[in-house]
Amino acid sequence: MGKEISRREFIKVSAAAGLVLAAGDILNGSGSIVHGAVRIPEAEKVTITIVTDNLYDVTVPSVKIAKRYMIRPGEPIVNWGLHAEHGLAYYIETVVNGSGHSFLFDFGTDFQSVLRNMELLKIDFKSVEALVLSHGHWDHQLTLVDLMKAKRSMFREGIPLYLGEEAFVERFVKRPDGVMSLGQLKREDVEALGFVEIREIKEPTPIIPGAYATGKIEMVTEYEKGQPPLVIKRGDQYPQDFFIGEQGVVFNVKGKGIVVASGCAHRGIVNCVKQAQKMAGVEKVHAVLGGFHLTGAKPEVVHRTIADIKATHPEYIIPTHCTSFPAIAAFAKEMPDQFILSTVGTKFTFGG
């Protein structure tokens, strides 16, 4: 009964937040979110577990807020073998008013390996209250349907899947030898599962207590202009894909400030942070974690990104996935006190 009451109250809070946003848009007269219109409930603790990422290194020690995956004495040595890939998946937990909640954010590419990682990391599928997809690229969604099928008995009926506009469209990349498909998450495949409720969002939206999706991320910086080789098909044309529905996730950690988690940040990690500050009405940035999509970026773009992130004075900066090795190295050099290396299996704990 306690859980049912908690869920009912959460729905009421979510609805109220939606009304506030709608009223803010009307009062603002521009269709944009009024500064501070969303009040994200403060979380006593936020824990982000890296289920899969581009790097796994068993020799990297725990440090500060980062607890690395370690096998227990007596366990078979094969359990050291977490899987890394060109993909990203998180298991995220919040504690709000003493109550724990959790959701999955992105799902990686290799089903068998991601599932094995989850089992080794002892992910509690029965506790998962929601699913979030940052965007429709294969390296974030490819395992989603298979994972839901494999663990059908453990996921709750009607579990919501939050995603933005155009999450279900086929995406492409331009190469010298032509345009290549990057695959597609199909709506009918998700609907066929029978127990997942698709929720397409455009505005800041509560996911679980203490966690909000960003809604549409405004592209306000002069230099974060997306990646021209990444395209989308419209009619018989292939214009640049600006990922208009890409979602980040924002947390407000008690006494610390906001934590911003991205999938790829195709719309720019600085833009994502600015969106988070605006929607939450909180300037203080505690941590920025996620893919920053600086792969192939010109050095001046990397330098400007680092400068603007430094200007927000985060206590921690944790680049993952598609940030690229040169950009990760640059962050480590320019922000040595804030930088923490992401590895598969790491639990990052904020607050608590």
Name the CA dihedral angle for 198, 203, 209, 211, rounded to a multiple of 10 degrees.
100
For residue 18 the two structure tokens come to: 């939606």
Give CB contacts under 8 A, 24+ apart, made by 33-38: 33/203, 33/204, 33/215, 33/278, 33/279, 35/278, 35/281, 36/280, 36/281, 37/279, 37/281, 38/204, 38/212, 38/279, 38/280, 38/281
- DSSP of 127-152, one letter per residue? GEEEEE-S---HHHHTTHHHHHHHTT
- Residue 147 has a pLDDT of 97
| 30: containing domain | 2-351
Rounded Cα gap, residues 67 and 338, in angstroms: 16
Name the CA dihedral angle for 72, 78, 79, 84, rounded to a multiple of 10 degrees.
140
- Which tens digit of pLDDT belongs to each residue from 26-70? 233 333 334 446 889 999 999 999 999 999 998 999 999 999 998
Report pTM. Answer: 0.89
Residue 181: give its domain's CATH number: 3.60.15.10
For residue 127 the two structure tokens come to: 């506790």
Q: Which of 331, 348, 329 is nearest to 46 (CA)?
A: 348
- Residue 23 has a pLDDT of 36
Question: Is residue 73 very low, low, confident or very high in pLDDT (cuts 50, 70, 90)?
Answer: confident
| DSSP secondary structure letter of residue 35 | T
Question: Is the pLDDT reported for residue 18 higher than 70?
Answer: no
Residue the block writes with tokens 């299996």: 345
User: Number of folded domains in the chain?
Assistant: 1
Name the CA dihedral angle for 184, 190, 191, 193, rounded to a multiple of 10 degrees.
150
> What distance, in Å, lies between the first and last C-alpha atoms of the chain?
27
- Which tens digit of pLDDT belongs to each residue from 290-307? 999 999 999 999 999 999
% residues pLDDT > 90 (the chain)? 85
Give the number of other CB atoms < 10 A from CB of residue 149.
12
